[in-house]
Chain A
Amino acid sequence: MINKDTNEQIIRLKQHTPARIGVGRTGTRPLTKGYLSFRIDHAAAVDAVFGEVSEDLLRQFQLFTVETRFETKEHYLKRPDHGRILSEKACEVIKERCFPAPQVQVVVSDGLSANAIEENLPDVYPALMDSISANGLQTGTPFFVKGGRVGCMDAIGELLKPEAFVLLIGERPGLVCAHSLSAYMCYRPRKGTKESDRMVISNIHRGGTPPVEAAAHIGTIIKKMLEQQTSGVKLML
Chain B
Amino acid sequence: MYKKATVLGHTYSFHHLKEVMAKANEERSGDQLAGISAENMKERMAAKSVLADLTLGEIRNSPLLPPEQDEVSRVIEESVSTPVYERIKNWSVAELREYILNDETTGSDLLQLSEGLTSEMIAAAAKIMSNLDLIQAASKIEVITHCQTKIGQKGVLSSRAQPNHPSDHLPGMRVSLYEALSYGIGDAVIGINPVIDTTDNIYALLVETKDIIDRFAIPTQNCVLSHVTTQMRAIEKGAPADLIFQSLAGTQMGNESFGISIPLLEEANSLIYDKGTATGPNRWYFETGQGSELSSEAHFGIDQVTLESRCYGLARKFNPFIVNTVVGFIGPEYLYDSKQVIRAGLEDHFMGKMHGLPMGVDVCYTNHMRADQNDMDTLSTLLSAAGVNFVIGVPMADDCMLNYQSLSFHDIATLRSIFHLSPAPEFEKWLERAGIMRNGALTKSAGDPTLFMNKV
Contact = CB atoms under 8 A, between A and B. Distances in A.
Nearest to A49: B368
Interface string A37-51: 011011001101100
B366 A172 contact: yes
Interface of A: 1-3, 6, 9-10, 12-14, 16-25, 28-30, 34, 38-39, 41-42, 45-46, 48-49, 74, 77-81, 112, 172-176, 178
Contacts of A45: 367
Nearest to B334: A78
Contact of A77 (B333, B396, B408, B444): B333
Contact of B448 (A1, A17, A38, A178): A1
A18 to B, nearest CB: 5
B326 to A, nearest CB: 16
Given A19-B398, A42-B405, A9 B169 contact: no
Contacts of A80: 333
Given A19-B165, A28-B442, A13 B29 contact: no
Nearest to A18: B400
A175 B166 CA distance: 13
B448 A21 contact: no
B456 interface: yes
Interface stretch (B82-90, B172-180, B274-282): B172-180
Nearest to B30: A78
A28 B410 contact: yes
Given A42-B405, A175-B405, A20 B396 contact: yes
Interface of B: 29, 32-33, 163-166, 169, 171-176, 178-179, 183, 331-333, 336, 366-369, 372-373, 394-398, 400, 403, 405, 408, 410, 413-414, 417, 442, 444-450, 453, 456
Contact of B368 (A1, A16, A172): A172
A16 B174 contact: yes
A79 B331 CA distance: 11
Contact of B336 (A16, A49, A78, A174): A78
Contact of B414 (A24, A29, A172, A175): A29
A91 to B, nearest CB: 24
A78 B396 contact: no
A30 B393 CA distance: 14
A159 B331 CA distance: 31
A28 B414 contact: yes
A172 B171 CA distance: 28
B28 to A, nearest CB: 10
A24 B179 CA distance: 10
4 smallest CB-CB distances across A and B, nearest first, come from A174-B403, A20-B396, A17-B172, A45-B367
A79 B174 CA distance: 40
A38 B413 contact: no
Contacts of A112: 368
A76 to B, nearest CB: 9
A13 B367 contact: no
A25 B373 CA distance: 17
B29 A19 contact: no
A148 to B, nearest CB: 14
A173 B367 contact: yes
Contact of B400 (A34, A172, A176): A176
Nearest to B170: A16
Contact of A38 (B173, B396, B453): B396
A25 B447 contact: yes
Contacts of B33: 78-79, 81
Given A19-B398, A175-B367, 8 more contacts: A3-B448, A17-B172, A19-B164, A19-B175, A28-B413, A28-B442, A38-B396, A175-B398
A2 B169 contact: no
6 contacts: A2-B447, A10-B448, A17-B165, A19-B165, A45-B367, A172-B367
Contacts of B448: 1-3, 6, 10
A30 B373 contact: no
B182 to A, nearest CB: 9
A186 to B, nearest CB: 21
A19 B414 contact: no
B453 A9 contact: yes
Contacts of A176: 400, 403
Contact of B398 (A25, A28, A38, A46): A38
A34 B447 contact: no
Contacts of B366: 172
Q: Which of B163, B333, B369, B398 has the most CB of A within 10 A?
A: B398
Contacts of B163: 19
B400 A19 contact: yes
A19 B172 contact: yes
A22 B179 contact: yes
A17 B176 contact: yes
A1 B442 CA distance: 10
Contacts of A9: 450, 453
Contacts of A30: 396, 408, 410
A166 B366 CA distance: 27
Q: Which of A23, A79, A81 has the most CB of B within 10 A?
A: A23
A215 B172 CA distance: 31
B449 A22 contact: yes
A225 to B, nearest CB: 27
